[in-house]
Homo-oligomer: A and B are copies of this chain.
Amino acid sequence: MSHVLSPRPDTRFLVLDTALTLFTERGFFSTSVHDISREAGVSIGSIYHHFGDKEGVASALYEQLGARMEGLISEIRRRHTTAHDQAMELVSRLFQLTESEPRAMEFMLYAKHREFLPRQGPVCSSRPFVLMREIVSMGMERGEIRPMDTLIASASLFGGPLRMITGRLDGLVDKPLPECLDAVWACAWRAVAMAAPAP
């Protein structure tokens, strides 16, 4: 626990925070370990001591953000019962996160991790995306969502909102995403929602 008492800022945190900024601004390959070292005020030796190699930095970043994302979804699944509420809350939180931490969002779902993290599968196979599909799957069993291929339903429900996020990160969308939530969600839900029973 010595690090808690130490006045020195945590090296690992410093490095990861700087790396996230540089990776998203210039990209992984256009960022040298020297750059990270200089910007973070941490020596190269320390970086290699903590992370092994450059890929290790990206890897740690990926895992950290992935775990946060997973925690977020798990929390949402505990707090809401219907697929509709769970999915809408998820989109809402992702929209908020895009505004408050655009770099984190960009690194998670916009970076081509396969290019620099060959061990990781594609993003959409990662835990968070699996959990999203589980929400959809549950919705179909509950009769909230029309019966169809789960993958198709998942893409149709979250495809629009995710596209808004990348559009926002690209500077294509001017308005803060939370202001668009109602309109975006209405379309997304309409795409997969069970038709109202004939009166």
- Could you list which residues of chain A lie within 8 angstroms of chain B, going by C-beta atoms? 26-27, 29-30, 110-112, 114-116, 122, 124-125, 148-149, 151-153, 155-164, 166-167, 170-173, 180, 183-184, 187-188, 190-192
Contacts and interface: CB of A to CB of B under 8 A. Distances in A.
Interface of A is mostly: helix
Contact of A170 (B122, B159, B164, B170): B122
Instruction: List 8 A-B pairs, minimum CB-CB distance, nearest first.
Output: A159-B159, A156-B187, A27-B115, A29-B29, A159-B160, A159-B163, A122-B170, A191-B191
A116 to B, nearest CB: 8
A10 to B, nearest CB: 29
Contact of A190 (B115, B124, B149, B191): B191
Given A158-B163, A192-B187, A151 B173 contact: yes
A149 B183 contact: yes
Contacts of A122: 170-172
Given A152-B160, A190-B191, 19 more contacts: A26-B115, A27-B112, A27-B115, A110-B112, A124-B166, A148-B183, A151-B167, A152-B183, A152-B184, A152-B187, A156-B160, A156-B187, A156-B191, A158-B163, A159-B159, A159-B162, A159-B164, A162-B163, A188-B191
